[in-house]
């Protein structure tokens, strides 16, 4: 085991991981992922030759650089402002962490460097997705002080979106005709950046914001069965809930699959940083909802919404198969691998995570060289708006790769 691999193992162990056997042939799968990611690098570099003006008046001309998905078979690149822009740099860092290869580190540094401009972008709540998946993953592996500084500045920027009256970080600034202060379940994932900023600086203000957001979300987003609403809108004057609804789910009362996955993963992460038993219990309750839902298929890769009307057997309106969401499955698997380190239900969680990982590996992977280099197929981004339906998506690849590494963190080349 190399010094780099040993350092990474120590880092993973600090997250609560222990030795385990992966349900797949990890070295063989990782070799294939390296091959496929080289295809992605080639196609991304070829497609990123022309700078464009992004559709935001405060922007100057920027470059599209980060591969997000396929549109009509063509590679779609996004600028750093896009909420998904940090996932591909994070994938490159994970490949570097696994292999120790200078080639992967150089590529990761290039793609991560483009993200730095986002550290002062206060128009978005997605700072964790963008900065922590890129700079955060890089910092864990390199301890580069410049990366540390970007993480801290990004946490300061994200903190400006916190409303103490409500107790949450504002999610979206768009569609102000629909809501006053929207908070989406996805926003829980951005708290890791804040927790980490407190760990790096000793400044507890980031920690307090993260805990407030997690507690308020736990109170208002979750139903008695521990399924989650997608959007909760708050009144900025009173701090009270105005409306609970969806923007990407089947309907306001449904359980949008990726939203359930975000909650499972995020409350597990919150327990890691706080050791607050309420977060562990919340993660266990969410896991129970997902794992025991009658509409969860045998391969444990969920339909895009647990209450989608076309799921076979879902009711009289079921007319055909609904699309699956491999991205939700990858997030669930990664979250379960961590949760099983803390929970008395570890055996069940690991068994389901193993089933998901094997299903994704055996039946949802792209052939090497195909699909412009994306790893997983069959993800669903926004079914109600008919966007990114049954396509590869970069965050599916990111969490799949993370789940692979979490499945057997002691196995390093």
Write out the catalytic residue numbers.
Answer: 126, 186
Tokens for 86?
Answer: 């940090």
Cβ contact 108:86 at 8 Å: no
Distances (CA, A) of 183 to 175, 233, 277: 13, 6, 24
- Determine the longest span between alpha carbons in the chain, in angstroms: 59
Q: Which residues contact 191 (CB under 8 A, 6 or more apart)?
A: 128, 210, 213, 214, 266, 269, 270
Residue matched to tokens 């991304």: 44
Task: Tell me the DSSP string of 244-266.
Answer: EE-SSSSSTTS-BHHHHHHHHHH
Closest CA to 219 of 244, 199, 195: 244
State how far the Cα of 88 lies from the Cα of 374, in Å rounded to an integer.
Answer: 10
State how far the Cα of 201 lies from the Cα of 270, in Å rounded to an integer.
Answer: 18
Closest CA to 162 of 151, 172, 170: 170
State how far the Cα of 183 lies from the Cα of 259, in Å rounded to an integer.
Answer: 12
| Neighbouring C-alpha atoms within 13 Å toward the C-beta of 273 | 22
CA end-to-end span of the chain: 7
Task: Tell me the DSSP string of 169-195.
Answer: E----S-TTT-SEEEEGGGGGGHHHHH
Cβ contact 106:95 at 8 Å: no
Count H helices, E strands: the chain? Answer: 14, 11
Tokens for 351?
Answer: 């068994």
State how far the Cα of 214 lies from the Cα of 128, in Å rounded to an integer.
Answer: 15
DSSP 23: S
Cβ contact 121:81 at 8 Å: yes
């Amino acid at each position: 085991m190399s010094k780099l691999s040993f350092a990474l193992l120590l880092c993973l162990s600090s997250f609560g991981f222990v030795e385990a056997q992966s349900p797949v042939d990890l070295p063989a799968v990782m070799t294939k992922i390296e091959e496929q990611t080289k295809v992605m690098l080639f196609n991304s570099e070829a497609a990123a030759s022309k700078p464009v003006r992004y559709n935001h008046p405060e922007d100057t001309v920027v470059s599209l650089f980060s591969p997000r998905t396929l549109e009509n078979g063509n590679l779609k690149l996004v600028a750093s402002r896009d909420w998904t822009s940090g996932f591909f740099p994070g994938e490159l860092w994970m490949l570097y962490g696994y292999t120790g290869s200078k080639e992967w580190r150089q590529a990761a540094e290039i793609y991560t460097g483009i993200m730095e401009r986002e550290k002062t972008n206060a128009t978005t709540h997605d700072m964790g997705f963008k900065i922590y998946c890129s700079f955060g993953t890089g910092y864990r592996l390199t301890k580069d002080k410049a990366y540390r500084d970007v993480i801290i500045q990004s946490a300061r920027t994200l903190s400006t979106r916190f409303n103490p009256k409500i107790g949450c970080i504002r999610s979206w600034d768009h569609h102000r005709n629909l809501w006053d202060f929207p908070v989406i379940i996805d926003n829980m994932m951005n708290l890791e950046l804040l927790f980490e900023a407190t760990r790096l600086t000793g400044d507890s203000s980031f920690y307090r914001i993260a805990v407030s957001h997690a507690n308020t979300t736990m109170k208002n987003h979750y139903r008695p069965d521990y399924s989650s609403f997608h959007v909760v809108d708050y009144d900025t004057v009173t701090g009270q809930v105005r409306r609970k609804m969806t923007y990407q789910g089947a309907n306001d009362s449904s359980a949008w699959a990726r939203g359930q996955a975000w909650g499972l993963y995020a409350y597990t992460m919150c327990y890691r940083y706080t050791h607050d038993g309420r977060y562990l219990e919340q993660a266990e309750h969410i896991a129970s909802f997902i794992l025991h839902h009658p509409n969860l298929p045998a391969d444990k890769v969920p339909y895009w919404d647990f209450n989608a009307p076309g799921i076979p057997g879902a009711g009289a309106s079921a007319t055909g198969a609904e699309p699956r969401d491999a991205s939700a499955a990858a997030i669930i698997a990664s979250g379960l691998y961590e949760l099983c380190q803390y929970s008395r239900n570890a055996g069940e969680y690991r068994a389901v995570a193993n089933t998901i990982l094997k299903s994704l590996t055996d039946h949802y992977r792209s052939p090497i060289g195909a699909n412009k280099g994306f790893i997983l197929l069959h993800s669903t981004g926004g079914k109600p708006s008919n966007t990114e339906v049954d396509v590869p998506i970069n965050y599916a690849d990111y969490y799949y790769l993370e789940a692979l590494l979490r499945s057997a963190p002691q196995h390093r080349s």
